[in-house]
Amino acid sequence: MSKYSLVAMGGTFDIIHKGHLTLLSNAFDISDKVIIGLTSDELAEKKKKTLINKYEKRLENLTTLLLKKYSRSSFQISKLNNDFGPAVLEKEVEALVVSDETSNQGNVLNKLREDMKLPPVQIITVPMFLAKDGKRISTTRIKNSEIDVEGNLLSIDK
């Protein structure tokens, strides 16, 4: 029996790495139904993110991963044009899975839900997955060839 009937989480998922896998794993560990907000290209641009992959490719990569790893669970991928997407509107969402980096978003979300007369969600904060050098794994570090998707160091002179 799952702890929550429906949880939400979000991300850009430009290059799927160990940090993303940790968030997804936590979400599917506590619920058999997960809504995943996938950042639109427009929202990524607004947040000053430099993308390698356009939305359609990121959607394809994420869907392939989810079907492979979580085929026994139910998931929905929603395009995020703002910070929260369905997590604000879906009354049935019981929890929001976030990283240390985005944990403050939970309070903002619950304020929005309160304004809409919806029940608050539990905020499940997942610690950042660290690379071998003790710093966080990030798509930026992968793009800069500092680490690989597992967090292994790629250059000894960095």
Q: b/e for 83-113, b at 16 or more Cβ within 10 A?
A: bbbbbbebeebbbbbbbeebeebbeebbeeb
Q: Where are the alpha helices (DSSP H) in the chain?
A: 18-30, 41-46, 55-69, 86-89, 104-115, 139-143
Domain boundaries, the chain: 7-128
The pLDDT confidence band at residue 158, using thresholds 50, 70 and 90, is very low
Is residue 36 a contact partner of residue 11, using CB atoms and an 8 Å limit? yes
Which class in CATH covers the domain with range 7-128? alpha beta
Model confidence, pTM: 0.91
Strand partners, 66: none
Residue 101 has what pLDDT?
A: 86
DSSP 8-state assignment for residue 100: G
Q: From CA 128, how far away is CA 141, in angstroms rounded? A: 14
pLDDT of 38 strictly over 80: yes
